[in-house]
Amino acid sequence: MKRLILTFFAISAFYLSLSAQEIDTVPISVKDMEIKLKRSPLPSRIGVINFQPVELKPALVQAKINYWKTKATVGINANQASFSDNWKGGGVNSVAIGALLNHKAEYSKESYSYTSEIILQYGKVKNKDQLQKKTNDRIYWDNKAAVQLSKNWYFFASVSFESQFDKGFSYSKDANGNEVAKILSKFMSPGYLTESLGFEYKPNKVFSTRIGTGTARQSFVLDTTIYKTNAKNFGVDIGKKMKNELAFQIVTNFEKEVMKNTILKGKYNMFIPYDNFGHIDHRLDIVATTKLNRFLNVSLTGVVLYDRDMDLKVQRSQALALGASFTFPR
């Protein structure tokens, strides 16, 4: 009897649960109800969007790659001093002027490069009751073409020319105390033309070294009377105008801004003739330039030269100058 009653209650509970589910899923009409739904922030697609291709004409940009880089510096230095006749401190009235032109052009494309540099220097000083004297005089033109072999090594060919503008003299005094000038050199007496083939080591923009295993140099003394006052005649046989030499050459260049507005530039040249390894020529040029402002600068120049065709002793020159310089492009 108890089992029958429990079964009845279980069936009744199951039926009520089914009835409740059916009631929960009964559809209710909301047509007349005011139900406000929030607007979806997502855009809704209405209809079909048709895309039409647009023809665009390519824009032609007329741009050219410039493989050249040039730089030119023009400098003028001047100095003047004057004293009254009763100036007890001593001194000599003087006027000095100097000029410099340095132009460098570089071409670089892929593994090929070409560099041309010309340096022109000239200066004179005139002291009262004395002859005019040169303070600087140089013509130098260097051309180099190179092909890159590896990261730091290049094969190069170069041609350089060097001489001077004006006559050079040595000075002495005669029996009356007057200055006497004796000519030592002039334009193309001497003059040098050097051709070189070899390898260049250039690890960065600051330092480079050329090793000219095949180098030829022609020394010119076109004035055949220079030997009368310059016995060595710059190594050229007396009566001749040219001497040709085959040699091994090393040319090292260094240029760096060592401190703010101060650039140190150095060039070392070693020349060893193949027919006389004991006769080695050396030349070291050093220039330190400090820029004071946009135009004014101070420069210290030094040259150390050893060439037995000129003198058995080491030759030296030094100059300190304050002047104006203009660089293009700025």
- Helix (H) / strand (E) element for 84: namely none
Sign of CA dihedral 150, 153, 159, 164: positive
Q: Where are the beta strands (DSSP E) in 202-280?
A: 207-220, 242-259, 262-273
CATH class belonging to 68-328 = mainly beta
The confidence score (pLDDT) of residue 306 equals: 96
Alpha-carbon distance of 123 to 168, in angstroms, equals 12
Sign of CA dihedral 46, 51, 52, 54: positive
pTM: 0.79
Q: List, for residues 163-202, the tens digit of each pLDDT value.
A: 999 999 999 988 888 899 999 999 999 999 999 999 999 9
The confidence score (pLDDT) of residue 277 equals: 86
Question: Could you tell me which residues are beta bridge partners of residue 105?
Answer: 70, 116
Q: Are 123 and 78 in contact (CB under 8 A)?
A: no
Mean pLDDT of 239-243: 95
User: Is pLDDT of 2 > 60?
Assistant: no
Alpha-carbon distance of 233 to 235, in angstroms, equals 5
User: Is pLDDT of 9 > 90?
Assistant: no
Nearest alpha-carbon partner for 113 in 157, 73, 72: 157
Q: List, for residues 298-313, the tens digit of each pLDDT value.
A: 999 999 999 999 999 9
Q: List, for residues 79-117, the tens digit of each pLDDT value.
A: 888 888 888 788 888 899 999 999 999 999 999 999 999
Mean pLDDT of 115-143: 94
Give the CA dihedral 309, 247, 164, 115, nearest 10 degrees.
-160
The confidence score (pLDDT) of residue 330 equals: 60
Mean pLDDT of 148-158: 96
The confidence score (pLDDT) of residue 294 equals: 85
Give the list of residues 6+ apart from residue 219 with CB closer than 8 angstroms, or none.
190, 191, 192, 234, 235, 236, 242, 243, 244, 245, 309
Q: Domain limits of the chain? A: 68-328
Alpha-carbon distance of 104 to 143, in angstroms, equals 10
User: Is pLDDT of 76 > 60?
Assistant: yes
